[in-house]
Structure 1
């Protein structure tokens, strides 16, 4: 008589939560029938089903708009108080987008949690059982995280810019038709999208949320200042511009670019950082157990 081995309750629960497994079982498909569009759909279902992802992403939008409005109000008050010299050296677009420093950490956290949460609850093992090649799962997460981040951040950047210019008022406010302004607004959304992917790569490499978030924070905020203190000026000036935060500033900055890369070079450097982290993540994902 054949022996029937019951599937553990935990395993059944994980399988029930995983969209790839559900779709395959309902349609009678094996893992060989899994296609990349189905894996993307699976990752989209996972991301949208977790309320914390949307709360965190919307927090980044609120921070961008809030900090930008406060900075614009400060600039407006300074001008009203007779600080024309300060106003002459301050770009209104850059002022409106000044929330980038905090928003980049928040979107980086979204990227980290997209994958570390699945390492923590074991769902990734179930996904890999349905997609044995593994790498399509990582690339699907890249597509979903990039798409969601850019879709949220692009309108946020336009809202931040317009609100800031209304607050600044007068003759100092900028227009989208001004040189470099549209590039800075769209580039800001692109930069934050890249940072979310950098967080995804770090999360996949470290597999632990606290460590990956700490690394994001250090890389973007602490390392630039620390290297600026310890490196000789002759070395630091040429080195610091290639850090992701400074390269991103080259994309979004309007005005004198002393010490910064060109916008095109800055974009390539940021993409290089993202490609490096995701490349390491892909290699380790294939070699390590889930």
Structure 2
């Protein structure tokens, strides 16, 4: 009896639960594990890499055969080793963009998003982690595929007018730009999947934005095409990996031109120096005030006619 009473009086000890905290590093590691645990990730990344390399080699081989036969296609008239090797970018972007949609919209379709949000109640860290993880993977795959395609493609077109190497100006920048563009396409696909929460809807919008809309823009008036085309994802991507050895000269606005001229030391010294057409007192004559644009060289002491701005400065 005493033994039972002593046993009943002993306090019950509950095992302490380990303290788990939701941190950014842990969310990233969970998204990394979920990405590589899917079979579709390996298949789609392999297809994207295959498209990028295979179509680049096919394009380079076709150019080489045209050069050897003496019948070069008009589309390859200004082709380079970079443009030929990156011909498969348009096909690789579809594979990586579709996988980006699957990364986010796939969880909504299967209901896995409930477990994800139960573990991480805040949605923004989940979305940022998904975009960062897959964007980095797509960037690495795209850059690797671009360099591999150029390595084989430059060997095929060696000895032709399109032959180039990595030491040529702008080649490395173009290859890195292609990888960056493919990484951004993956992030766009991730964003579409999170917004639409539908695999079919996200893929449809992605294909329309990358493939259909640029063709429909050609039906618009030319004035509209010039305003809309530079902002399309495909056209902006082509500008990222286009081979340019010299930076194009852009038109400068009149405001920036006037600011630059006004701030130059030479112009500042010229404005501070007295003008040859102004009298010693600093005030212009009545003829100069009446006709600022009709002064001749004789009135200015043999110098070119002074502007009305100079007369106003000396009047002050």
Question: Which interval holds the TM-score relative to the shorter structure?
Answer: 0.7 to 0.9
Correspondent of 2:110 among 107, 121, 138: 121
Any idea what the Cα deviations from partners look like across 1:80-139, whole Å, max 9, x if unmatched?
112468555112211110001111111001100001111111111111111111110111
Unaligned runs of 5+ in 2: 1-15, 251-316
In structure 2, how many angstroms separate the alpha carbons of the residues matched to 1:261 and 1:56? 41
Larger deviation: 52-61 or 88-97? 88-97
In structure 2, how many angstroms separate the alpha carbons of the residues matched to 1:220 and 1:78? 30
1:147 aligns with 2:105: no
Q: How does 1:163-242 map to 2 (within 5 A)?
A: 163-171=152-160, 172-229=162-219, 231-242=220-231
In structure 1, how many angstroms separate the alpha carbons of the residues matched to 2:191 and 2:73? 44
Contact preservation (8 Å) 2:134, 2:187? yes
In structure 1, what is the equivalent of residue 239 of structure 2? Answer: 250
Q: 1 or 2, which has the higher helix percentage?
A: 1
- Call closer, same or farther: CA 1:59–1:85 in 2, change over 3 Å: closer
Q: Secondary structure at the match of 2:169?
A: coil
In structure 2, how many angstroms separate the alpha carbons of the residues matched to 1:261 and 1:108? 34
Contact preservation (8 Å) 2:60, 2:156? yes
Contact preservation (8 Å) 2:158, 2:164? no
Contact preservation (8 Å) 1:247, 1:261? no
Larger Rg: 2
In structure 1, how many angstroms separate the alpha carbons of the residues matched to 2:58 and 2:72? 19
How big is the alpha-carbon RMSD for the aligned residues of Structure 1 and Structure 2?
2.3
Contact preservation (8 Å) 2:135, 2:183? yes
- Call closer, same or farther: CA 1:234–1:221 in 2, change over 3 Å: same
In structure 1, how many angstroms separate the alpha carbons of the residues matched to 2:218 and 2:245? 20
Unaligned runs of 5+ in 1: 1-25, 263-290
Q: Secondary structure at the match of 1:169?
A: coil
How far the C-alpha of 1:149 sits from its partner, in A, is 1.2
How many residue pairs get matched? 232
Comparing both chains, which one has the higher relative contact order based on Cα–Cα distances under 8 Å and sequence gaps of 6 or more?
Answer: 1
Q: Where has structure 1 moved over 6 Å in runs of 4 or more?
A: none
In structure 1, what is the equivalent of residue 267 of structure 2? Answer: none
In structure 2, what is the equivalent of residue 131 of structure 1? Answer: 120
1:157 aligns with 2:146: yes
In structure 2, what is the equivalent of residue 61 of structure 1? Answer: 49
TM-score (norm 2): 0.69
Q: Secondary structure at the match of 1:198?
A: helix
In structure 2, how many angstroms separate the alpha carbons of the residues matched to 1:44 and 1:27? 26
